[in-house]
Amino acid sequence: MSTSTNKQSLKGMLWTWAALTVIGVIIGLYAPAWIMPKSMSNNMHLTILTMVVFTVAAAPVAAGVYATALFALTRWTHKGNDVPSAGPAVRENAMVVTTWLVVSTLLTVFLLIWGLGALAVDNGSTGKNPLVVDVTGQQWVWSFSYPGTHVSSPDLYLPLNREVEFRVTALDVTHGFWIANMGVQVDANVGTITTIHTTPDKLGTFDIRCTQFCGLNHAFMVTEGHVLTAQQFTSWLASQPQRA
Q: Which of 154, 192, 231, 238 binds other proteins (CB under 8 A)?
A: 154
Q: Exactly one of 207, 213, 234, 235 binds other proteins (CB under 8 A); which one?
A: 207
At position 119, the amino acid (one-letter code) is L
Contact call for residues 94 and 44 (beta carbons, < 8 A) = no
Report, in Å, the least distance between residue 131 CB and other proteins. Answer: 19
Q: Count of residues binding other proteins (CB under 8 A)?
A: 26
CB atoms within 10 A of CB 121: 12
Interface characters, 166-185, with other proteins (x: CB under 8 A): -----xxx------------
Strands, sheet with 164-170, edge to edge from the N-terminal-most edge strand: 151-153, 141-146, 131-138, 164-170, 194-198
Cβ distance to other proteins smaller for residue 83 or 216: 216
What is the C-alpha separation between 21 and 82, in angstroms, rounded?
A: 36
Near other proteins by CB under 8 A: residue from 9, 68, 138, 185: 138
Per CB under 8 A, 241 contacts other proteins: yes
Q: Are 137 and 168 in contact (CB under 8 A)?
A: yes
The yes or no reply on residue 217 touching other proteins (CB under 8 A) is yes
Separation CA 131–CA 230 (nearest Å): 11
Which residue, 125 or 139, has its beta carbon nearer to other proteins?
139
Q: Which of 52, 70, 141, 237 binds other proteins (CB under 8 A)?
A: 141
Question: Dihedral of CA 77/79/83/84: which sign?
Answer: negative
Q: What's at 115, amino acid-wise?
A: G
In this structure, are residues 179 and 164 in contact, taking their beta carbons and an 8 Å threshold? no
Residues 15 to 54: which contact other proteins by CB under 8 A? none
Q: What is the pattern of x (binds other proteins, CB under 8 A) and - over residues 218-237?
A: --x-xxx-------------
Find the length of the chain: 244
Contact residues for other proteins (CB under 8 A)?
136, 138-141, 143, 145, 152, 154-155, 171-173, 190, 205, 207-208, 215-217, 220, 222-224, 241, 243
